[in-house]
Structure 1
Amino acid sequence: MSPPCSFPSVSPASSSSSDPSQITQIQQQQNGHTLAGTLPTVDEIRAAVPKECFEKSLARSLFYLALDLTIIAVLYAVVPFVESKFGLFGLFIWYCVLGMYLSSLFCIGHDCGHGTFSNWEWVNDVFGHVAHAVIMVPYWPWQKSHRQHHQFTSHLDKDKGHPWVLEEHYENGGWLQRNFSKIPLSGLIRWNPIYTIAGLPDGSHFWPFSRLFSNNTERIKCAFSASLCVLSSWAIFVLLSHSPWAFFKYYYVPLMFQGYWMIIITYLQHQDEQIEVYEENSWAFVKGQLQTYDREYGLGIDHALHHITDGHVAHHFFFTRIPHYHLPEATRCIRKVLDKYPGTYKRKSNYDFLFQFLRMNIMLDCLVGRGSGLLKYRSTVRREERREKAE
């Protein structure tokens, strides 16, 4: 799931997919030189993962849901003390911590959307709505757009949630289009309302007649999920004594911080100087999934966010089969396979995640290379050209 980093988007292509089990060819980057190589198959990667990692436990999933809700409740219980003793600074820290745990709650709904919360679809849908409605995320619409992201990761035209910006679109755009994502505070609104409500780039997740939906069943599901979000926010407004100021201060602002966390997390999962994006004729399932980064945030953040940060490669390969609590073990096993193919497994320590997010939003402005089958960020290509000249 990955919200927009800028306004421009590319036109959708056909919906055909490639066989994920095939051996694909890539141009691997190693020590600054292009090397031809082969990739493992999905079957080879799957064989390395113990069968226990594919087992779903409803009891365990409910425990993590209850844990997140309890922590959120405790944070709300202590906010009067925090605000009275530490003022605006304390409230800011509270927003940051609460935003992270609201993102943790999102990750539980994320498991539901993938079918890894339990073995029963109706159970997944019920608890998915429970987890997502209170944070203003329409469950079924998000499930659809996010599934398309997983099916076509790093595909130029089909990777939903990732508005890959081409050089010609970037240069022809206005000042706001070129620079909006470079503004640090833009992260507070890029998830909600820009991505989920306004629908840039995929279509509104709240409006049944947006371009995200193609039939009446999907539109009815959208109306249902969106209605639950509205009802949840109204219930919170009532609990806050019908006070618009309290609603804004203790509900909407935390959602803005939760959105900032979501933008940072999803951006860093699939953005880096070395990321490659593929056109239809060169894209393949394994190749696309390997344009995913595992990032270690440290300080307990990876655990709090249910390993969606440091176990994202494993999640991308088996997004409908491995629950979040099995991701660490699955990651260790998958890494043993990918280490045989130099340059395929991408992992970074990410203690400076906010700085890296802000830096890359400035540096990684647009993609170049359309028509070649493989696109890279313009800044990366220029750096490689300078290095080649120096050699």
Structure 2
Amino acid sequence: MVAHSSDGLSATDPVTGGDVLVDARANLQEKLPLSSDSTQEGLEEPRIELPTVDAFRRAIPPHCFERDLFKSLRYLVQDFAALGLLYFALPVFEYFGILGYLAWNILMGVFGFALFVVGHDCLHGSFSDNQNLNDFIGHIAFSPLFSPYFPWQKSHKLHHAFTNHIDKDHGHVWVQDKDWEKMPLWKQLFNPMPFSGWLKWFPVYTLFGFCDGSHFWPYSSLFVRDSERVQCVVSTVCCVTCAYIALVVAGSYSNWFWYYWVPLSFFGCMLVIVTYLQHADEVAEVYEADEWSFVRGQTQTIDRLYGFGLDQTMHHITDGHVAHHFFNKIPHYHLIEATDGIKKVLEPLYETQYGYKYQVNYDFFVRFLWYNIKLDYLVHKTKGILQFRSTLEEKAKAK
């Protein structure tokens, strides 16, 4: 059974696998705690009111919710063309040796991620008005990237439905102090490794299914219905087929590895970096069930400007991500305009934990590496509210 709100917000139930309405509670104006420096779990905080989902929707121009099939197709063709041109220009890059090959891989990773964003519009239904067409195009965009479309669709909807929920937001591994203490040393040291970003995409997340189930295995914990398992098989076959075609074109396993799999790993690393920095930050909070609400969780999302033309190339999923989280039916080409409306609604909350979060991060790669070291685990800030250990310790020292 599928339930839809006027805002187009729906999500997959993690237990039944069916679609459930996620913003009913969010449309009720709630009194939520104002940010506090206290780290004592039992303390009560002053209460403030958060805007409703309808308040955000009214602040966004109606045309931002309109999907233009031809414009969406243009971006799809544009990204494939860019990747094709990079392959055509490969000899020029290789003329400069290992540095040229590295630069080529970085560009392949960026434009590969741009293609992923177009497929990401498909899984949200913001590519066109026809979901069957969306699913077809989504496979065209995702399969060459070795990303199974239907499994991504399910796991990603769960992330949107329960953003920054300590138990239900499986798009991120929220590590608490109690988890950290039980971890073996190698697990504690994994995230700070400079190359962990490459491994987190494949095989850690999509293949092995840490933390919400393998995206390639139809009997993983991610799937609860036979129809979902069939979808998993379909998407996996599409990915394997693309990888096999790449092998045939490459002509050898060596060429396949260096000119398909290595650039693919750079795409995966870019995906991990962008996703991590959208939701991990020194100021971000994570909530237990009694304290979580849809609006509250979305306000912990961070927009980041990467610069160097990357935000435009990657279709503004970096600096328009807050708007995307409130309304995932908005096509990527309307996100920046929609962001202006989000800012206006959140402006009165600027001095609180729930204000609009935006950072200019030309140092995004270094920041990603540093945050993986610094933001190691969460502790309770107050009852039901968690924040990163290092943030609370710094606040305590500043007193």
What TM-score bracket applies, with the shorter chain setting the length?
over 0.9
Match in the other structure for 2:258:
249
In the alignment, residue 164 of structure 2 is paired with which amino acid? S
Give the letter for the 1:346 counterpart: K
**Identical aligned residues as a percent:** 45
| Rounded Cα–Cα distance in structure 1 between residues aligned with 2:382 and 2:346 | 29
Measure how far apart 1:32 and its partner are: 9.9
CA–CA distance in structure 2, aligned partners of residues 100 and 263 of structure 1: 12
Where does 1:283-298 land on structure 2 (aligned, <5 Å)? 283-298=292-307
One of 25, 46, 49 as aligned partner of 2:31: 25
1:175 Cα deviation after fit: 1.2
User: Which one-letter code corresponds to 1:89 in the other structure?
Assistant: L
For the pair 1:323 / 2:331, whether they are aligned, the reply is yes
Aligned residue type for 1:325: Y
Per-residue deviation, residues 160-213 of structure 1 (Å, max 9, x unmatched) = 211100111112111111110100111111111111111111110000000000
**Separation in 2, partners of 1:106, 1:51:** 26
Give 2:160's aligned residue: 150
Shift of 1:36: 3.7
Which residue of structure 2 aligns with residue 351 of structure 1? 362
CA distance in 2, matches of 1:25, 1:164: 25
Q: CA deviation at 1:255?
A: 1.0
Name the SS of the counterpart of 1:154 in structure 2: coil
Contact 1:98 1:258 in 2 (8 A): yes
Q: 2:109 aligns to what?
A: 99
Q: What letter is aligned with 1:300?
A: G
Taking only aligned residues, the RMSD between alpha carbons, in angstroms, comes to 1.9
Following superposition, the deviation at residue 156 of structure 1 comes to: 0.4
Matches within 5 A, 1:1-391: 19-29=25-35, 36-83=47-94, 85-241=95-251, 243-319=252-328, 321-342=329-350, 343=352, 344-369=355-380, 372-388=383-399
Which is worse superposed, 288-297 or 166-175? 166-175
Count of aligned residue pairs for this structure pair? 374
- Give secondary structure in 1 for the equivalent of 2:264: helix
TM-score by length of 1: 0.92
Structure 1 stretches of 4+ moved >6 Å: 12-16, 30-34
Corresponding letter in the other structure for 1:172: K
Confirm or deny: 8 A CA contact 1:32 1:384 kept in the other structure: no
Query: Alpha carbons of 1:214 and 1:104: their partners in 2 closer, same or farther (altered >3 Å)?
Result: same
Note the C-alpha offset of 1:71: 0.3
Gaps (5+ residues) in structure 1?
A: 1-11
Q: Which moves more between the two structures, 36-45 or 271-280? A: 36-45
1:5 maps to none
Is this contact kept in 2: 1:113–1:124, CA < 8 A? yes
Does the Cα contact within 8 Å between 1:155 and 1:288 map onto a contact in 2? yes
Structure 2 CA distance, aligned partners of 1:356 and 1:367?
Answer: 19
SS at match of 2:282: coil
Which amino acid is the alignment partner of residue 76 of structure 2? Answer: L
Q: Could you list the runs of 5+ residues in structure 2 that have no partner in the other structure?
A: 1-13, 40-44
Q: Is the 8 A contact 1:116 1:323 kept in 2?
A: yes
Task: Name the amino acid aligned to 2:262.
Answer: V
Letter paired with 1:348:
Q
Q: Is the 8 A contact 2:37 2:381 kept in 1?
A: no
CA contact (8 A) 1:297 1:353 kept: yes
